[in-house]
Amino acid sequence: MSTTKKIGAALISVFHKDGLAPIVQKLHEYGVTLYSTGGTEKFIKDLGIPVVPVEDVTSYPSILGGRVKTLHPKVFGGILNRQDHDGDVKEMAEYEIPQLDLVIVDLYPFEKTVASGAPEQDIIEKIDIGGISLIRAAAKNFKDTLCVSSMEDYAEVLDIITNGNGSTTMAERKRFAAKSFAVSSHYDTAIFNYFNADHEIPSLKLSANNGKTLRYGENPHQKGFFFGDFDEVFDKLHGKELSYNNLLDVDAAVNLISEFQGEAPTFAVLKHNNACGFAQRDTMHQAYVDALAGDPTSAFGGVLIANGEIDELTAQEIHKLFCEVVIAPSFTPEALEILKGKKNRILLTLKNIVLPEMTVRTCLNGTLLQERDHKTDTTADLTNATNTQPTEKELEDLLFASKICKHTKSNTIVLAKNKQLCASGTGQTSRVDALRQAIEKATSFGFDLQGSVMASDAFFPFPDCVEIADKAGITAVIQPGGSIKDQLTVDYCNENNVSMVMTGTRHFKH
């Protein structure tokens, strides 16, 4: 039997009708019998094209408020019958079941209804039953039936019908079956995740559409893909395509700057997911200049992000630096014109969006899932552990450093002064090494650490870190506490007039 099939009859029942009319008209030109229901049936009639109501086939009206329309053996028999199976052919004739060679069906907008904040009953009514069943049936029987399950495919389907003179090939039907199962599995995943929002059932269901193939992964010999709605987070104004590594750095930048929303002008420079420069000032220009001073060497090829609009003066300074990405809530027209001066520089405006509540990463032959770290240390969380208490200025710097520390790879130490990142020790195997790295970097870039503060992402197991910090001129420390030897660290601070506050919250980042 030929793998090319002539379309003799089609069932069309869709929620989204944009782009459908040309397909209906083309099918009519080829003499295809059209079956339909409800609103789609009216849509076809309004085009002046004959259409057979499904009720005429099933001898049942749409019942239960439209919940049951197509769920009938005469409909599903027409889709699922095997045309090369003698028994199926005989039963089709015996029960007067019409052959259906094309099924165009989409699904109620469940995810959009959830996102709109609609009441639960409205959400439940958007759980499609007939549509999902028709899609599964038609996709299963791709040998004989073409299944179209999304309006995004209407243009391609029109081309297939036109180029094939009303016929479809096995390859086309099988490819559309795969697309249809992608639609159905994504839909069921969204429904399950709605019912399991509290994760009471220990089952992980992930689904993402519109995957993008990247130039490569972390290295040129690795394949890379991004699954997500980038346009929901950003408007891309200029520049080349983002790479795998760009996306990781952009994610780190967005999470870090979120700690400083609504605050004074703040600017961050990131490299390899860590802040190498960070400052908060009265103007965005000064915030950028002082952030860059934190580590102008590492800033080369980095990702820059601001918590407010980038103006012309700031853009002039940024333009002197080779950087991969610049992100801000907005750019003045003058700033945008300047920054577009480098054709590959990626410029993004960050929208006001809420990032996913859970974070996911692969591990061994499985997956790790955890809640996002929403805890930000505030003055209400602090306990004075030492006799000497931090001054008001030191307290501001301690909380400033703590926010940066939370978003830096462990083990980490962050040194700050006057709301400027002096240096950080990142991703070290010991806290002492992280501190020494931070002190060495700060000194090499000319920072005077006298009167600076230190933040640690986890407790100090021994007093050696505070001793090293004290001798470098650091006068105040913020850390979670919780070591069985906390008192040794506190004792050293008391003996040397170093103030220390404890937050009670660890911020590991691996």
Q: Which amino acids are annotated catalytic?
A: 140, 272
**Closest listed residue to residue 494, CA positions, set 470, 510, 461:** 470
**Closest-CA residue to 193 (of 115, 122, 105, 139):** 115
- Spatial separation of the C-alpha atoms in residues 255 and 21, rounded to whole Å: 45
- Cβ–Cβ under 8 Å, residues 300 and 321: yes
Q: 3-state DSSP helix/strand/coil percent for the chain, to nearest 5? A: 40, 20, 40
205/196 Cα distance (integer angstroms): 10
Instruction: State how beta strands 383-384 and 323-328 pair.
Output: unpaired
Tokens of 37: 């229901």
Is 9 in contact with 101 (CB distance < 8 Å)? yes
Alpha helices in 320-459 (DSSP H): 333-339, 392-406, 431-444
- For 115-175, list the strands marked E by DSSP: 146-148, 167-168
Helix (H), strand (E) counts: the chain? 19, 23
Contacts of 201 (CB under 8 A, 6+ apart): none
Q: How many CB atoms lie within 10 A of CB 291?
A: 27
Residue 29 makes CB contacts below 8 A (sequence gap 6+) with none
421-425 vs 453-456, strand pairing mode: unpaired
**Strand pairing partners for 131?**
none
